[in-house]
């Protein structure tokens, strides 16, 4: 009799992915400017550390929020006691208003349609439990966040079928690719319950276009039992708010509020990326379907957000002057840091997919591969991790269809560390070019040497024959 359950011992968590293995190598030898300057630089973690000074400044100016006071009076006991899993109404309202604010109030959100969760990981898994049965499938455009293999599949039993996107059109979703994924699922006898996208995309760093969103809405309008889940946790990282289009805006502009589609569109959100607070574990599900909200609220009891966290963030998000300045400054700093990475890579002959959002770039290193294979991609990745000492995420871990693409994060480090990372990468690329040049030179030299040797031998044979002939004549 097995000691542990099949779920506990199964290998479907995805922990053996190169995405997570890179983290493990970093943790063994983390870079530190003083303590370990030659360690591995973490460029595989999508954290936003560029605006901590703004958050810390706010905390200093608003000591009551951090010390759990209201009008100067302690509310510690109130927050320490049991709270209903619906969450604090003040926080849910502040969060709903914040979600509307960075969409420039083009759409509004009803706090009654929000379910609080312990981060986006919990939100995505909870939605899978609500919308699908074990063995059902969701369609996901590739490349996608490696953690989805864990978040969407591991405990729920849901299957992922890829919508295969390629570099030929900038990895955009096409109607043909979507239909092919749907047909592939049917061939596998999988019941498709939904499509899940990340907007802006992780790992591409691009916002979903109006055309792509229209393709998706046309698809779910035609297929009456299919949901659309939009993971919008990077929405506040778009370099320009006007470039980000939420699925809720499509519902409004296409006048779908009073149709059956309205209840089949759901949003996942969190404060981990926009505010850079992954440690606070604040996520949310937004849905127009009351049954989904009811079921998700019950399930949220397995992953609640602490009352203390809700109170603190309620105060912060309710400060409209702060949030307006923060969103604007966050966009500016992210755009500048992305430009620093892109120009640095371009200087050493490495290109990136054109991006307008996110905490990372989708980097094209296909020309550095020894062959156009995923084996060659893994060989290059290992060299970058172990020799260059940079942890980046290979495209294969994101289920990219083409070898040679890598996700490289830029917002979780200082400018000095990013410069060091680029310096290390430049040295690696230059040495690689020199090495190949030497190999080519040696090859050409060898050919030339062989040719010269052949000529010499030929001449020697000719001379020998001539002298031998003279001897014979004496």
Q: How far apart are CA 102 and CA 242, in angstroms?
A: 9
Q: How far apart are CA 220 and CA 124, in angstroms?
A: 19
8 A C-beta contact, residue 96 and residue 110: yes
Our answer to whether residue 273 is catalytic in this structure is: yes
Q: Of 92, 93, 153, 273, which one is the catalytic site residue?
A: 273
Q: Of 102, 145, 182, 326, which one is the catalytic site residue?
A: 145
Nearest Cα neighbor of 322 from 14, 13, 61, 4 is 61
Q: Of 151, 231, 274, 289, which one is the catalytic site residue?
A: 231
Cα end-to-end distance, the chain, whole Å: 101
Q: What is the enclosing helix (H) or strand (E) of 286? A: strand 283-287
Nearest Cα neighbor of 266 from 138, 153, 114 is 114
Nearest Cα neighbor of 284 from 156, 160, 272, 276 is 272
Our answer to whether residue 231 is catalytic in this structure is: yes
The string over 105-138, giving b where at least 16 C-beta atoms fall within 10 Å of a residue's C-beta and e elsewhere, is eebebebebbbbbbbbbbbbbbbbbbbbeeebbb
Our answer to whether residue 233 is catalytic in this structure is: yes
Q: Of 41, 233, 245, 392, which one is the catalytic site residue?
A: 233
By residue count, the chain amounts to: 474
Q: Which residues form the catalytic set?
A: 145, 231, 233, 273
């Amino acid at each position: 009799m097995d000691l542990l359950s099949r779920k506990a011992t199964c290998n479907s968590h995805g922990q053996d992915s190169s995405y997570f293995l890179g983290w493990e190598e970093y943790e063994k030898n983390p870079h530190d400017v003083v303590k370990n300057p030659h360690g591995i630089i973490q460029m595989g973690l999508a954290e936003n550390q560029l605006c901590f000074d703004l958050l810390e400044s706010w905390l200093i100016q608003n000591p009551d929020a951090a010390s759990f006071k209201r009008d100067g009076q302690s509310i510690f006991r109130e927050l320490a006691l049991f709270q209903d899993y619906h969450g604090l109404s003040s926080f849910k309202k502040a969060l709903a208003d914040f979600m509307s604010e960075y969409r420039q109030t083009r759409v509004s959100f009803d706090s009654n349609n929000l379910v609080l969760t312990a981060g986006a990981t919990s939100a995505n898994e909870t939605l899978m439990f609500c919308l699908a049965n074990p063995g059902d499938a969701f369609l996901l455009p590739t490349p996608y966040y490696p953690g989805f293999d864990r978040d969407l599949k591991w405990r729920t039993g849901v299957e992922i079928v890829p919508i295969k996107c390629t570099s030929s059109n900038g990895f955009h979703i096409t109607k043909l690719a979507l239909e092919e994924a749907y047909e592939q699922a049917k061939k596998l006898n999988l019941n498709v319950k939904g499509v899940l996208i990340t907007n802006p995309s992780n790992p591409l760093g691009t916002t979903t276009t109006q055309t792509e969103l229209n393709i998706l809405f046309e698809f779910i309008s035609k297929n009456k039992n299919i949901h659309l889940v939009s993971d919008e946790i990077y929405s506040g990282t778009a370099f320009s708010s006007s470039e980000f289009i939420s699925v809720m805006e499509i519902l409004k502009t296409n006048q779908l509020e009073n149709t059956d589609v309205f209840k089949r569109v759901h949003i996942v959100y969190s404060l981990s990326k926009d505010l850079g607070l992954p440690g606070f574990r604040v996520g949310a599900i937004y849905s127009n379907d009351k049954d989904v909200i009811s079921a998700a609220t019950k399930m949220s009891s397995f992953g609640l957000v602490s009352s203390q966290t809700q109170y603190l963030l309620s105060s912060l998000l309710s400060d409209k002057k702060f949030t307006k300045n923060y969103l604007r400054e966050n966009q500016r700093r992210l755009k500048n840091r992305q430009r620093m990475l892109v120009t640095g890579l371009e200087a050493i002959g490495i290109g990136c997919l054109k991006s307008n959002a996110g905490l990372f770039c989708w980097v094209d290193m296909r020309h550095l591969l020894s062959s156009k294979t995923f084996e060659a991609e893994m060989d290059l990745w290992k060299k970058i991790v172990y020799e260059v000492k940079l942890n980046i995420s290979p495209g294969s871990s994101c289920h990219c269809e083409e070898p040679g693409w890598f996700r490289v994060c830029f917002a979780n480090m200082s400018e000095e560390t990013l410069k060091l990372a680029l310096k290390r990468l430049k040295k690696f690329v230059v040495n690689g070019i020199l090495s190949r040049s030497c190999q080519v030179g040696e090859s050409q030299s060898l050919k030339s040497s062989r040719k010269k040797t052949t000529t010499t031998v030929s001449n020697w044979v000719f001379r020998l024959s001539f002298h031998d002939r003279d001897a014979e004549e004496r």
